[in-house]
Structure 1
Amino acid sequence: MNYQIELRHLLYFKVVAEELHFRRAAERLFIAQPGLSRQIKQLEDYYKTNLFIRDKRNVELTEAGVYLKKEVDLIFNQLSNVKDHIEKISEGKITSLKLGFIGSAVQAILPQLLVELKQKQPLIDITLNELSNEVQMEMIHKQELDFGFVRIENTPLGIQSVPILTEHFSLVVPKNRFPKAKGKVNLMDFTEEPFILFSKEYSNSYYELVMSIFDDHGFEPNVTLKTVNALSIFNLVSQGLGVAIVPTSLKKGYHTHVDFLELNHLPQRTTLSLVWNKKNRNPGIPMMLEIVNGLKGKS
Structure 2
Amino acid sequence: MNYQIELRHLHYFKVLAEELHFRRAAERLFIAQPGLSRQIKQLEDYYQAQLFERDKRKVSLTPAGQYLQMEVDLLFNQLGKIKEQVEKIEEGKLTSLKLGFIGSAVQTVLPELLVSLKHEQPLIDITLNELSNEFQLEMLLKNELDFGFVRMEKAFPPLKSIPVLTDHFSLVVPKDAKNKNIKKVDILDYQKESFILFSKDYSSSYYNLVMSIFYDHGFEPHVTLKTVNALSIFNLVSQGLGVAIVPSSLKKGYHTHVDFLDLSHLPQRTTLSLVWNEENRNPGLGLLLDIVKKMIK
- Verify same fold: TM over 0.5: yes
Matches of 2:44 and 2:178, distance apart in 1: 68
Number of the residue aligned with 1:89: 89
Q: Which moved more, 1:45-54 or 1:215-224?
A: 45-54
Q: TM-score, normalised by structure 1?
A: 0.95
Counterpart-to-counterpart distance in 1, 2:181 and 2:57: 68
Compared with structure 1, are the counterparts of its residues 34 and 178 closer, same or farther at alpha carbon in structure 2 (3 Å cutoff)? farther
What SS class does the counterpart of residue 179 from structure 2 fall into? coil
2:58 matched residue in structure 1: 58
User: What is the aligned length?
Assistant: 297
Q: Distance in 2 between matches of 1:86 and 1:21?
A: 35
Residue by residue over 1:193-233, the C-alpha shift from the partner in whole angstroms, topping out at 9 and shown as x without a partner, is 11111111111111111111111111111111111111111
Is the 2:179–2:259 Cα contact (8 Å) retained in structure 1?
Answer: no
The amino acid that maps onto 1:204 is S
Higher alpha-carbon deviation: 169-178 or 140-149: 169-178
Aligned-pair CA distance for 1:45: 2.1
Whole-Å separation in 1 of the counterparts to 2:178 and 2:18 = 54
After TM superposition, the structure 1 stretch with the greater mean CA deviation from structure 2, 124-133 or 253-262, is 253-262
Which residue matches 1:107?
Answer: 107
Gaps of 5+ in 2: none
For residues 178 and 241 of structure 1, what CA distance do their matches in structure 2 show? 19
Who is 1:269 aligned against? 269
State the 1:178 CA deviation: 6.4
Distance in 1 between residues matched to 2:58 and 2:213, nearest whole Å? 50
Give the equivalent residue in structure 2 for 1:185. 185
The 1-side partners of 2:98 and 2:54 are apart by 39
Cα deviations by residue, 1:161-190 (Å, 9 ceiling, x for unpaired) = 000000101111122286345322111111
Where does residue 43 of structure 1 map in the other structure? 43
The CA deviation at 1:6 is 1.2
Structure 1 counterpart of 2:207:
207
TM-score normalised by length of structure 2: 0.96
Residue 246 (1) aligns with residue 239 (2) = no
**Map of 1:172 onto structure 2:** 172
Runs of 4+ in 1 over 3 A off after TM superposition: none
SS in 1 for 2:195: strand
Give the residue type in structure 2 aligned to 1:296: I
The residue type paired with residue 189 of structure 1 is D
**Contact preservation (8 Å) 2:154, 2:161:** no
Identical counterparts, % of pairs: 74
Corresponding letter in the other structure for 1:87 = E
2:291 is equivalent to residue 291 of structure 1: yes
Separation in 2 of the partners of 1:86 and 1:287? Answer: 17
Distance 1:52 1:178, change over 3 A: farther
Residues 23-52 of structure 1: per-residue CA shift (max 9 Å, x gap): 222221111222112222222222222222
Q: Aligned AA for 1:202?
A: Y
For residues 86 and 288 of structure 2, what CA distance do their matches in structure 1 show?
19
Instruction: Report the equivalent of 1:20.
Output: 20
How many Å separate the matches in 2 of 1:57 and 1:193? 58
What stretches of structure 1 of length at least 5 have no aligned partner? none
Aligned to 1:77: 77
After superposition, the CA RMSD in angstroms is 1.4
Which position in structure 1 is the counterpart of 2:34?
Answer: 34
1:177–1:33 CA distance, 2 compared to 1 (3 A): farther
1:240-289 deviations in Å (ceiling 9; x for gaps): 22111111111101111111111111111000000111011111111111
User: Which aligned pairs between 1:2-21 and structure 2 lie closer than 5 A?
Assistant: 2-21=2-21
**How far apart in 2 are the matches of 1:105 and 1:36?**
49
Query: How big is each residue's C-alpha offset from its partner over 1:35-88, in whole Å with a ceiling of 9 and x where there is no partner?
Result: 112222222222222222333333322222222222111111111111111111
Between the aligned partners of 2:143 and 2:12, the Cα distance in structure 1 is: 22
